[in-house]
Amino acid sequence: MRKPKRLGEELATWGVTFISWSAIGILGGVLVFLLYKGVGVLSWSFLTEPMRDGMRGGGIAPAIVGSLWVTMVAILIGGVIGTAAGAYLSEFAQQPRLKRFIEFLVTTLAGIPSIVYGLFGLALFVTALGLGASILAGGMTLALLSLPLLIRNAQEAFSAVPSSLKQASIGLGASETQTFFRITFPIALPRILTGLVLATGRVLGETAPVLFTVAAYYLPTYPHSVLEPTMLLPYHLYALITSGVNIRETYPMAFGTALVLLILTLCFTLLSAYLRYKLKKRYRV
């Protein structure tokens, strides 16, 4: 079946191969570069101590803690609402038109730029609800941002549960909600958690929505409640690069911060990829 190859086609094949691998190669370059520049900065004290002397010395612990707090709030709120909404779309929606409309809304929300969510968070949570710049305000803003991803993921997870199982449960006399909580939900749970892990990685790296809703420029203490502002890794990195008193002095700190942020997001992204791979193998879907 294979014909003798023509030169143009050979070149085209080489072209797409080259493009694909160079896009990935640049990614590799970024990772290696940041690792090379940042690994010297990393130390136990860098990870566990607060900043000192403006931003020139000390560690980045408050930013790490702040980022984890905000992400946790976002994923908790987004996870609950997203999973419930996904369950509705997959299991309980009876009118197809309403279902399609909500799916359309999810698509629309997914396309809204993150900075616009930041504006919304500023107007609603920070100003109108009077939360001020706080972990709660920022977390809720990020929850809204990650909701489309979480809803879609939950919907797919519930839809992937074999309907034979659901029907068997109904046939044994269980109600719809009983079937959902005892059969569908436990089976779909690993996939839902995988989606949550992926969303965690995305939320950790988001900068634009938290600029006005939670991020503090320099606040080397640990937050005591969710109603306080906090430093965040991405914003701290941004601040280090763009508005440090002496850029040269803060550069090593910036490389260290970038590497920590990169490793954190990478862990979550790779973990979700690994979980999905495992699930695929187990369920063959």
- Angle, in degrees to the nearest 10, between helices 135-159 and 185-205: 140
- CB nearer other proteins, residue 14 or residue 224: 14
d(CA 111, CA 55): 36
- CB nearer other proteins, residue 221 or residue 269: 269
- CB nearer other proteins, residue 45 or residue 178: 178
d(CA 167, CA 148): 29
d(CA 179, CA 176): 5
- CB nearer other proteins, residue 27 or residue 224: 27
- CB nearer other proteins, residue 130 or residue 224: 130
Min dist. Cβ of residue 58 to other proteins (A): 20
The token duo for 188 is 């779909």
Place of tokens 């909701």: 147
Min dist. Cβ of residue 237 to other proteins (A): 5
CB-CB contact of 144 with 117 (8 Å): yes
d(CA 178, CA 103): 25
Q: State CA 33 to chain mean position distance.
A: 23
d(CA 147, CA 108): 12
Q: Which residues of 28-48 are buried (b: 16+ CB within 10 A; e: fewer)?
A: eeeeeebeebbeebbeeebee
Min dist. Cβ of residue 178 to other proteins (A): 8
CB-CB contact of 73 with 135 (8 Å): yes
- CB nearer other proteins, residue 155 or residue 224: 155
Q: Give burial (CB, 10 Å; 0-12/13-18/19+) of 10.
A: exposed
Residues pairing with 21 in the sheet = none
- CB nearer other proteins, residue 88 or residue 222: 88
